[in-house]
Amino acid sequence: MEEIKPPKIENKINVPEPWAEAELKAEKITEQELEVYNYIFSEHTKVIPFLKGDADKRQMDDQAFLRRIYSNASKTFGLGEKEAEMTFYRLEILRVNYRPSSNVDFSPEAIEQNMPRYLEYYRECRKSMIVGAAMNRDHAVSWRPEQFKVGCTALTLDADLPDDQPAIHPGANYKPTKESKTRCAEKHAVEGAILYNTKLIIAITIVSKESTTGDPSKSCGALHPCLECRRMYRDLLKKGILREDSIICSANDSELDEEGMPSVIQEMSVKELLDLYKDDPEE
């Protein structure tokens, strides 16, 4: 096997995030531990090319990818591979459990003012969201012989995080039997986000090899949200959790382009989607 040389660290994060700064002041972590964490975190969030093959092969490749990250971190910082891995997960737990002391303004006026910045953030991470949705699809469960599977990612602003740190929530469809109630990937992601006290859904990304759920659809090659999901969107609009300019991105990866991304990607605002289906029957 070819030896993996430790990479040079670029774009080092010199200013800790609020959670890390608080832990540094409390002397719970060291500067080197923070550098190890920042390096591994940045490698974790890199876009992994779409993998052809079944979910088991993808999972094996993902595990090899993680082992490579910890090996590189070990060589870069002069640590044992297990020590680098445990440092990352210890600090990741601190990050997830951190609750900022400052109050973030989630008023409609503040969100209106900041929405262009939130949408720009979505555009910067759209590729990663599509890849993440495809990987989430590996956890989908379908009763259909042809295995109808959908993956989803939702980009949100959560009350427990600073407004400049959107969160990404995963989702996958679940219907183990024909008689069981459908649990769509989008609903899975949105319900998970709401559990984390989400105040705004900036964008939702859907990935499937299908182009229709079987319901009447106006899609052009990529799967559109089904009737139940569109009803959910209308309800979220009324509650203010979703906005008309929030983005719905649908990707069909039955074929890939030269960069290994889905050849069909459709993007529209929530308003454009719901206007397209304005003839939906009421509940």
Tokens of 159: 């009350």
DSSP secondary structure letter of residue 169 = E
Whole domain around residue 130: which residue ranges? 108-276
Write down which residue in 97, 131, 159 finishes a domain.
97
16-70: per-residue pLDDT in tens?
Answer: 566 677 777 776 788 889 899 888 887 765 545 444 455 555 555 567 777 888 8
Write down which residue in 73, 97, 121 finishes a domain.
97
Same structural domain, 132 and 50: no
Of the listed ranges 77-81, 174-178, 193-197, 209-213, the least confidently predicted one is 209-213
- Location of structure tokens 């008023």: 107
Q: Across all residues in the chain, what is the average pLDDT?
A: 82
Beta partners for residue 150, in sequence order: 208
250-280: per-residue pLDDT in tens?
Answer: 999 989 888 889 999 999 999 999 999 999 9
pTM: 0.68
Same structural domain, 64 and 122: no
Confidence of residue 162 (pLDDT cuts 50, 70, 90): low
Mean pLDDT of 115-130: 93
Cβ atoms 23, 29 nearer than 8 A: yes
Q: Cα dihedral angle (17, 23, 24, 25), rounded to 10 degrees?
A: 110
Same structural domain, 204 and 130: yes
- State the CATH number of the domain containing residue 237: 3.40.140.10
Write down which residue in 74, 97, 120 finishes a domain.
97
